[in-house]
Amino acid sequence: MSALVRLADVSKYYGNIRALEGVSLEVHAGEITCVLGDNGAGKSTLIKIIAGLHRHDAGTFEIEGEEVRLGSPREALDRGIATVYQDLAVVPLMPVWRNFFLGSEPTKGKGPFKRLDVQLMRETTRAELHRMGIDLHDVDQPIGTLSGGQRQCVAIARAVHFGAKVLVLDEPTAALGVKQSGVVLKYVAAARDAGLGVVLITHNPHHAYLVGDRFVLLKRGAMAGSHAKPEIALDELTRQMAGGSELEQLSHELERAPVPDVIGGKHVEEPGQGA
């Protein structure tokens, strides 16, 4: 099965600064590719390349087998790549249905009588959320009144509705509690089951392992590992992401030093000893 998106040895430089070097990944329909790494690992740069914000400097970037150099997010969207950023880019005081169609509002009427088709937007928003299994009673409520998890779910449903083939999610569970994170991961899996190829950017290996099919690990802008799920256990994925030997060295350095028996040439008695 050919990949929806394929990056091969992709690099990005800002002057003399290496932001990304030699990164490869594939995104297939009906699968979730998780990109893991700590802050500064290069995850944000990778997102910007896939989303069309930045052009790569080396390597190849293919969409459905065609090599591309995207020039804008609109170009990426036209090719079926939708990106949901951590800040979500919503207007908090606008209703849910208005945010759902933000920038792509349907209209009715002609000439001076042309106006937004509010009824269609309300009905479509309600139906699309329901189709994704999102039970939202009132699409007229301001989206800012929803929880972080609910807002993420609305963004995912919006991408599915507007025909995305690839959905890129930037740390969707980063600011959420355990329960809300579980809700978001449920809808990430629903997008996968709808046939989308999903790129999940995260620093949480536990969340990644729950839903991921492939794992790409980044460290300081370079590849630190690439694994299919059957090839790696959660413990090993966590160890690799945490730095493995580096973490063991840090643990050794932080071990509590034994308390000396003699301080200033005098014997220190244990509590309870002496007269």
Residue 168 lies in a domain: yes
Q: What CATH number is associated with residue 238? A: 3.40.50.300
Q: Is the pLDDT of residue 250 over 90?
A: no
Can you give the pLDDT at residue 263? Answer: 53
Q: Are the C-beta atoms of residues 85 and 75 closer than 8 Å to each other? A: no
Q: Per the domain annotation, does 108 fall within a domain?
A: no
pLDDT for 247: 53
Cα 31 to Cα 166: distance, rounded to the nearest angstrom: 10
Query: What is the mean predicted confidence (pLDDT) over 39-63?
Result: 91
Residue 249 pLDDT > 80, yes or no?
no
The reply to whether 121 falls in a domain is no
Is 118 part of any domain? Answer: no
Assess if residue 116 is contained within a domain.
Answer: no
Low-confidence winner among 149-158, 253-262, 264-273 (lowest mean pLDDT): 264-273
Residue 162 token pair: 């507007």
For 53-78, b/e burial (b = at least 16 CB within 10 A) is bbebeebebbbeeeebebeeeeebbe
**Could you give phi then psi for residue 32, rounded to 5 degrees?**
-115, 120
Is residue 120 domain-resident? Answer: no
Q: Beta 197-202 vs 32-36: how paired, if at all?
A: parallel
What integer is the mean pLDDT of 139-144?
A: 92
Assess whether pLDDT exceeds 50 at residue 275.
no
In angstroms, the CA 127 to CA 94 distance is 19
Q: When comparing pLDDT for 244 and 107, which is higher?
A: 107
The count of structural domains within the chain is 1
Per-residue pLDDT band for 10 (boundaries 50, 70, 90) equals very high
Q: What is the pLDDT of residue 189?
A: 92
pLDDT band at 166 (very low <50, low <70, confident <90, very high): very high
Cβ count near 5 (within 10 Å): 23
**Mean pLDDT value across residues 122-149:** 87
CA distance 81 to 170: 13
CB-CB contact of 185 with 153 (8 Å) = no
Tell me if 26 is assigned to some domain.
yes
> Which string of DSSP letters, residue by residue, matches 1-69?
---SEEEEEEEEEETTEEEEEEEEEEE-TT-EEEEE--TTSSHHHHHHHHTTSS--SEEEEEETTEE--
Kindly state the average pLDDT of the residues 215-226: 91
The dihedral through the CA atoms of 156, 101, 138, 170 has a sign that is: positive
Percentage with pLDDT > 90 across the chain: 47
Q: Evaluate whether residue 153 is within a structural domain.
A: no
Range of the domain at 33: 5-94+163-267
Q: Can you name the residues that pair with 21 across neighbouring β-strands?
A: 222
